[in-house]
Amino acid sequence: MTFLVVLAFFILLLLGIPISLVLGMTTVLYFLLVGNPILLESTPMRLFSGLENFGLLAIPLFMLAGELMNSGGITTRLVKFSRVLIGHVRGGLAYVTIISNMFLASILGSANAQAAMMSKVMVPEMEKEGYKREFSASLTLASSIVAPIIPPSMIFIIYGTLSGTSIGGLFMAGIIPGIMYGIGFVSLIAYLGYKHNFPKSEKATTKEIISSTINVLPALLVPIIIVVGILSGVFTATESAAVACLIAFLIGAFWYKELKVKTAPKILINTVISTATVTFLIAMANIFGWMIAFEQIPQLVANSMLSFTENPLVFLLLVNLMLLLLGAVLDGIAALIILIPVLMPLVVAFQIDPIHFGVVICINLTIGLLTPPVGTGLFIVSSIAEVRFEKLVKAILPFLIMGILVLFVITYWEDAVLLIPRLLGF
């Protein structure tokens, strides 16, 4: 029976059926094969209960904030500010892409949304400057993985909700790793720029720098208010999403005056579609996790791991290798929801800090966006930037290697992750 369920899971995946439907269909097939009507009768309730969590409310709110900022002209001003500061150095526009993604990461919290948005903006601009299109697309995709690391982060919200870990603590823990990824990609660009003689733009005048700085200050209010509000205890991480929406609306509508009433339907429809996609996946993954728990797979995995090693460092290595392989064939959020019930007992047994482990597992699964054959980020950017999938995969390899190197540094340098949370009492 178990063999048939596993076989059905992989056949459905290979047929190209969306992962959320694969999880649901596989679970229903299992319950039919078991022949227990109570499990099937309880399935609708489990689907609903999987979404009954206050922390998940932050997901649609942060998505709405991102839509408001994009439509309100905040995104373009952040990109322009980055370009004015460093666009004149060799490879300047490549650096601008990385810095802009770090700015946007403090607002959007979704790598896929950020990759899609930045591909539309930066790939044509970089091609005009003389960069190869596949390189521009790969850089845009790679630097978008900081979105789920620098707060706010949708994947941190999901991990915190499932594991009972402080979402505010996870947000603060993502700051230094996000900066480390920025430094890693900047270093890689510096090497590639020297090797391939990247182009550079004209240096901005002092007047342009001052003007751009003044223009961008209101845009920077959103991430500042989010972080300061959480740290001061004025509002929770979830409530900060609602505050971000309000600030983004006020800035876009009344300061920049680019947010128009006629764009409201499109903003709300995009938010609803994105939210429905994520929450449907969470609901389906919840019943899949229920099936796994019914089969006592978490206990079997825990016992196997504990019999294999008692060293937490070896355990973290094994988890990283497993997740890198899994992230290549499974959506990151789905993998996270499935694996948390399996891995959390082991995290407790090995006395690993759940905040540190959460950052490691979330970064690892985010790297899966860059990994063939089913990295969703690859398909999104390939489509938007009009780059052949094979060329994009080849161009992304140096960034993928850098991403994995930084991941292992974060895994074994615990203080880099926990320094800020510990200082703030999380």
Reported as a single tens digit per residue, the pLDDT across 156-170 is: 888 888 888 888 888
Domain that holds residue 175: 19-423
Residue 111 lies in a domain: yes
The predicted structure's pLDDT at residue 409:
93
Helix (H, G, I), strand (E, B) or coil at 165: coil
The predicted structure's pLDDT at residue 102:
75
296-305, 306-315, 320-329: which has the minimum mean pLDDT?
296-305
Residue 276 lies in a domain: yes
pLDDT confidence of 405, banded at 50, 70, 90? very high
Residue 13 lies in a domain: no
- Exposure on the CB side of residue 246, measured as CA atoms within 13 A: 7
Q: What is the number of structural domains in the chain?
A: 1
| Average pLDDT of span 100-117 | 69
Residue 173 lies in a domain: yes
42/2: higher pLDDT: 42
Helices and strands, number each (H, E), in the chain: 21, 0
130/329: higher pLDDT: 130
Question: Do 93 and 83 touch, CB atoms closer than 8 A?
Answer: yes
Write the burial class of residue 229 (CB in 10 Å: 0-12 exposed, 13-18 middle, 19+ buried): middle
| Mean model confidence pLDDT for the chain | 78
The predicted structure's pLDDT at residue 406:
92
Residue 119 lies in a domain: yes
Residue 5 lies in a domain: no
Residue 7 lies in a domain: no
Name the DSSP letter for residue 51.
T
Q: What is the pTM assigned to this prediction?
A: 0.74
Residue 62 CA to residue 246 CA, distance in Å, equals 11
| Average pLDDT of span 317-345 | 78
Residue 297 CA to residue 295 CA, distance in Å, equals 5
Residue 413 lies in a domain: yes
Question: Could you give the percent of the chain with pLDDT greater than 70?
Answer: 88
Residue 150 CA to residue 109 CA, distance in Å, equals 7
